[in-house]
């Protein structure tokens, strides 16, 4: 493996701290010409060592769009993470995306609006647009911004494809999700007709099962009282 020197993008907000023995492998448009180590994530994967973190530039504010080639995190070493800077932002993948069993992509949520994910505007949460198929055998790890508190009904399209999403085993086991306010829980679904027209992966804040039961009991008590 190559000896990678850690390089940090000045505008990046890191969502996870890399262990001291890991390197931060940077990827972005223009590669070395723009201060990054690589111009494509596939090149960074080939150079990464076990436990390295790939930090890919993502579009988050008005500016030129940049689309990465198809890439396969499964082909990298175990424990490989991928985050994107200027978070929250959008990563576009020009072909199929694979997240291997021992790899993960890290998502940050700071709000509910990603209506500009297909344009050049700012978005409130990390989104990956896959112009092909997504294979999720590893993890999508989601965290909340320091001031953002989701509420029931909030819905986040983490990944949108022009094709299909497949995974091994149970879908919920491929996501690590932040703790919510008491009485709330997460629902994870794959649905058709998202941003790119194919299948999309959504997480939604819903009432926790216990909260629903209490709400139903309260409703029945109220009905009983009105009948007296």
Per-residue model confidence (pLDDT) at position 94: 96
User: Each residue of 45-79: pLDDT tens digit?
Assistant: 999 998 899 999 998 876 677 899 999 998 999 88
Per-residue model confidence (pLDDT) at position 173: 95
Annotate the chain with DSSP letters as a single string. ---PPP---TT---SSPPPTT--EEEE-TTGGGGT-SBSSHHHHHHHPPTT-EEEE--B-SSS---EEPPEEGGGS-TT-EEEESSSS-EEEESS-EEE-TT-EEEEEES-S--TTTTTTS--SB-EEEESS-EEESSEEEEEE-TT----TT-EEEEEEESS-EEESS-GGGGEE-----TTEEEEEEEEESSTTSSEEEEEEEEE-HHHHHHHHHHHHHHHHHHH-
Per-residue model confidence (pLDDT) at position 13: 30
Q: What is the pTM of this model?
A: 0.82
**Residues lower than pLDDT 50 in the chain:** 1-20, 213-215, 217-220, 227
């Amino acid at each position: 493996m190559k000896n990678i020197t850690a390089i940090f993008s000045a505008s990046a907000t890191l969502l996870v701290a890399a262990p001291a023995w890991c390197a931060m492998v940077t990827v972005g448009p223009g590669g070395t010409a723009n201060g990054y180590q690589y111009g494509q994530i596939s090149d960074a994967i080939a150079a990464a060592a076990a436990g390295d973190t790939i930090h890919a530039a993502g579009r988050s504010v008005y500016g030129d769009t940049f689309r990465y080639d198809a890439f396969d995190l499964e082909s990298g070493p175990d424990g490989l993470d991928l985050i994107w800077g200027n978070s929250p932002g959008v990563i576009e993948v020009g072909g199929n995306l694979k997240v291997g069993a021992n790899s993960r992509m890290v998502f940050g949520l700071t709000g509910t609006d990603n209506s500009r994910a297909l344009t050049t505007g700012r978005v409130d949460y990390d989104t990956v647009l896959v112009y092909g198929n997504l294979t999720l055998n590893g993890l999508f790890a989601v965290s909340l911004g320091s001031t953002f508190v989701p509420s029931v009904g909030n819905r986040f399209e983490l990944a949108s494809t022009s094709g299909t999403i497949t995974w091994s085993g149970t879908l919920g086991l491929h996501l690590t999700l932040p703790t919510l306010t008491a009485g709330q829980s997460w629902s994870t679904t794959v649905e058709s007709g998202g941003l790119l027209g194919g299948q999309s992966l959504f997480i939604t804040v819903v009432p926790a099962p216990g909260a629903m039961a209490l709400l139903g009991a309260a409703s029945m008590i109220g009905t009983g009282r009105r009948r007296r």
